[in-house]
Structure 1
Amino acid sequence: MRLTYLSILLILTLFNCKNDGNDAENNNAYFGGEIMNPNNDFVVLLKSEKVIDTIKLDNRNRFLYKVNDLEAGLYTFYHGGEVQMVLLEPKDSLLLRLNTLEFDESLVFTGKGAKKNNYLINEFLENEIQENKIYKFCQLKPQAYLRRIDSLKDMKLDKLKGFKIKNTTSPLFDKIAQANIDYSYYSSKEVYPFVHHGGNKEEILKSLPSNFYDYRKTINYNDDFFKNYYHYNSFLKYSINNLALGGHLMHSDDDKFKRGSLCYTLDRLKLVDSLVSNKVVKNELLKNFTSNYISKSSNSENNDALLNAYLKISTDEKDKAMMKRFASSLNNLKEGSSFPSIKLVDYKNSEFEIKSLINAPTVISFWSHAYYDHFKESHYKLNELKNKYPEVRFIVINIDGYGQEIPKSALKANNFMFKDEYQFKNPKESIEALAIQPMTKTLVVDKHQKIVYNNTNIFSVNFEEQLLGAINRK
């Protein structure tokens, strides 16, 4: 007999009840669910970045996995490039249901352990919405800004209090839920000097109340429990940015703070080295600051200087090797260089060398199913540009490597044409060769197959000006 989603849940519930007296079973948990529009046929479950297992989907896109000898805590699962976390505790039987087209927004849990996880995912989504409000509030003066973010924090605390009144919660859940609220609040304070209008960051810092950052005295910058947790890691990046800002302004000769300067990025690496001792936390921060700078810089000397500083501090050999390859790829994509040899496949399964497609000014952009909003918005923008600049060739490449059915379905569902749409023949090697980071990265190539811009953005205010420059090149 084919089990329905609800019948699986019922069996898990009965199974847990039956084993209430079994200590070995009491320390286990079940994790499963159903994925609509799957990107591949498996789900990966991890704990502290260590893979527990790769779980195959059945022919109805469902999965079920028993976690033996469960270590209570936050677990990560990913599917098709999307990542999310769940809280698993002994005797949980947690089932999820999601649609990959709206991964986080569609995610809902049922079964034992569902209420706490639905609370956490709802908090995650609400925080994403509130980020836009925070950026607007940042234009207020400090005291008015504090009143707004204090009000948001109080609302979250009231919501958590109400949830705990209605539901029996564990100390572990309480710790994570409180950390969500605290680190989101602290992040709101750390971003204020950067988002607040005005280029004089020193004056903005001086305008803050003397106790504005008092909470820093209580922060553990080496928290092993939260080292893989989104809110904690986001806070750390914001905090390092802000702490380094104060030191940077004391010795910088720039008239105006330049967030993308080499000096400021080196200051951040030095601060991480002095402040953070946990290897996982430290190496991740170093990698993040270094890769973000290098991906946006076209100055090879500055890139080399930062890379050398990073290599001296980081202790993660795998990350260091990756960063060397990343920098090397960017160096090969210098403006004026010939575009590298890359093999593409169209949706009729015909193979092309990309250079054979470049005989006019050409825009090359990328998309991934994991960034579905960007996929849609970028295609709308590209269609607009195609109509406006018929003399330009637009090559659009899906980077996922899932095969052709999923991207074809996405294109069809949104009424996007297949013309000039491709996939990489060898996704991993091609992504590395073109140093595709971030996803908004766009390359502009002239009719002679020379790189004009190696990292621009079709949504940039000066993109069309750049495009006209490429069109007018002889």
Structure 2
Amino acid sequence: MKIYFSIVLISLSFFGCKKDTAGMGSDFAYIGGEIINPIENTIILTSQDKTTDTIKLDGRNRFIYKIEDLKPGLYTFKHGSEFQLILLEPNDSLLFRLNTFDFDESLVYTGRGAKQNNFLLNEFLENEKTEKSIHKSRSLSPKDFSRKTDSVRQAQINKFKAFKNKHEVSKTFENLVLEHINYSYYASKETYPFRRTRQQVLEAFNSLPNDFYAYRKNVDYNDVDLKNFFAYKWFLKSNISNIALKKHMSHCANEDFKRGRSLCFNLDRLKFIDSLVSDSDLKEELLYHYTVKFLSTSENNEGISVVLQNYLDKTENEKGKKMIMKFADAIEKLAPGNRLPNLEIVDYQNNTKQINKVLKGTTVITFWSNMYYDHFMENHRKIRNLKKKYPEVTFISINIDNHNPNKAMHTLRSNFGFNNEYFLKTPIESTEKLAIHPMTKTFILDKNKTIVNSNTNIFYGSFEGQLLGLLNN
């Protein structure tokens, strides 16, 4: 039945393309497929120019959709909170089948355009592994680190050349693959100096050879064709942080460097975004990202006000301004000594409860999302160990996804069970009130249900010390 469905879709696409090509050119494509365990009954397809199409699933969770006046390039399709990039070109009839319980790993394309998209998808997935490997290699000397990143880049280029020798590829596809390889490589090099302490950062900077960043003459800070590309945005964030740090070192020589919490460094970072990035979407995303990051970690109220005003002065995005003001207000309300906002959580027997009523004694609250599976696993393993060491502490874990809980239920059932596990009844409103950023955000509350720390992290070296200090009072 599944094979038959694919044949039907391909046939529809072929005959549709043949008919339309004869009468009106070929600036269109078909996209279709099937969603297993759908989270909702729609798929959102967005182009680079922000044109959005909402595609409804039929009664068997399938769809086929024709895109008129197609502009070849990267598109984003989204289902629930999950998304993926696809390449669409004229006359494509791209089909896919995926299971939301294993979104990326279950995704496979068929039809015209499938070979290129399967190659891209594999590169995206492999890039996550490469990034982790590169991260672990930053303790190497600059020479050895360069040798490793050069080797990774060459292996990726060789893999593409082998694919190109076997399959006919478009120029658009070739450019995208090479840009992905290059910007992943650039981002890897940019992350090299960022180590834990100021002294290590200084040592890294001082040890860099003159040609370590030779590729910078080739980069474009405003490439609109790549604005949704993970590798490109990873490079932008890494590069701007890097050049801001170099500037920061030149005029704050005596400051104990703490990247996330340093007011001077973060102001430098916002300044470079403002001067280097002119594309409004990219600029806003970067300004917002680093402002929220500072607001999330800083304990300096005066610094928060300065960075907040700096963001407001630089952005023209009214929606961003409203969101950042909401976030700042939530941060203020979550200060130590206050109580959690009055919001509802739901257990996996579908019982709704007030969050403050499930707090028992000293409580730790963490959050997770299906979008960050590695974090989910690491977080829950850590909690399992902490429960053994601190049986007197209540550990609560909350899924924050904005869709039905079936996938979260499946993920928990397969790994850890449902004890003290909840999801948010009103995810959008509740995540705003709890100012959940980053995903590692952790709350510690005392026996009186009062906030002791609203922005710690169970992976911090100081976390258990915070917990012991509270338990020993």
Superposition TM-score, scaled by structure 2 size: 0.93
Please, which runs of 5 or more residues in structure 2 have no aligned partner?
none
Residue correspondence of structure 1 range 4-83 to structure 2 within 5 A: 4-12=4-12, 14-15=14-15, 18-19=18-19, 21-22=21-22, 24=24, 26-48=26-48, 50-83=50-83
1:255 Cα offset (Å): 5.2
Deviates more, 1:141-150 or 1:324-333: 141-150
Q: Distance in 1 between matches of 2:421 and 2:88?
A: 41
**AA in 2 matched with 1:317:** E
Q: Larger relative CO (CA 8 A, sep 6+): 1 or 2? A: 2
**1:172 maps to which residue?**
172
Q: Distance in 2 between matches of 1:360 and 1:428?
A: 28
Residue correspondence of structure 1 range 341-352 to structure 2 within 5 A: 341-352=342-353
Give the aligned CA root-mean-square deviation in angstroms: 2.3
Question: Equivalent residue of 2:444, what SS?
Answer: strand
**AA in 2 matched with 1:162:** A
Residue correspondence of structure 1 range 232-381 to structure 2 within 5 A: 232-254=232-254, 256-260=256-260, 261-381=262-382
Question: Equivalent residue of 1:280, what SS?
Answer: helix
**AA in 2 matched with 1:90:** P
Deviates more, 1:214-223 or 1:262-271: 214-223
1:274 Cα offset (Å): 1.4
Partner deviation per Cα, 1:191-233 (whole Å, 9 max, x = no partner): 1111498824344223222222222122221122222222111
The answer to whether the 8 Å contact 2:9/2:64 transfers is no
Deviates more, 1:273-282 or 1:369-378: 369-378
Q: Distance in 2 between matches of 1:448 and 1:378?
A: 25
Q: Distance in 2 between matches of 1:153 and 1:377?
A: 29
The answer to whether the 8 Å contact 1:78/1:84 transfers is yes
Change (3 A) 1:234 1:83: same
**AA in 1 matched with 2:168:** T
The answer to whether the 8 Å contact 2:244/2:272 transfers is yes
The answer to whether the 8 Å contact 1:445/1:451 transfers is yes
**1:151 maps to which residue?**
151
**AA in 1 matched with 2:244:** A
The answer to whether the 8 Å contact 2:101/2:410 transfers is no
Partner deviation per Cα, 1:36-93 (whole Å, 9 max, x = no partner): 3332222111012625212222333322211111111100111121121000001101
Identity %, equivalent residues:
48
Q: Distance in 2 between matches of 1:195 and 1:38?
A: 41
Deviates more, 1:2-11 or 1:261-270: 2-11
1:238 Cα offset (Å): 0.8
Deviates more, 1:92-101 or 1:75-84: 92-101
Q: Distance in 2 between matches of 1:471 and 1:257?
A: 31
Please, which runs of 5 or more residues in structure 1 have no aligned partner?
none
Partner deviation per Cα, 1:218-268 (whole Å, 9 max, x = no partner): 222112222222211111111101111111111013354331211101001
1:434 Cα offset (Å): 0.3
Change (3 A) 1:5 1:300: farther
Q: Distance in 1 between matches of 2:88 and 2:256?
A: 48
Deviates more, 1:397-406 or 1:279-288: 397-406
The answer to whether the 8 Å contact 1:94/1:113 transfers is yes
**AA in 1 matched with 2:122:** N
Superposition TM-score, scaled by structure 1 size: 0.93
Q: Distance in 2 between matches of 1:49 and 1:386?
A: 48
Q: Distance in 2 between matches of 1:197 and 1:345?
A: 41
**AA in 2 matched with 1:100:** T
**2:102 maps to which residue?**
102
Q: Distance in 1 between matches of 2:380 and 2:137?
A: 31
Partner deviation per Cα, 1:97-148 (whole Å, 9 max, x = no partner): 2232332233221110011111111111222111122123322222222222
1:313 Cα offset (Å): 0.3
